[in-house]
Structure 1
Amino acid sequence: MRRLWASQGAQVSRLTRVRYGPVKLPRRLARGRWDELSKRQIGELMQALDAGSGSNR
Structure 2
Amino acid sequence: MFELGYEEYFFGKGVCIVEWADLITEIIPEDALVINITYGQNEGERIYDIKGLEAGL
Which is higher, the Rg of structure 1 or of structure 2?
A: 1
> Which structure has the highest strand share of the two?
2
> Which structure has the highest helix share of the two?
1
Identify whether the pair has TM-score above 0.5, normalized to the shorter chain: no
Tell me the TM-score normalised to structure 2 length: 0.21
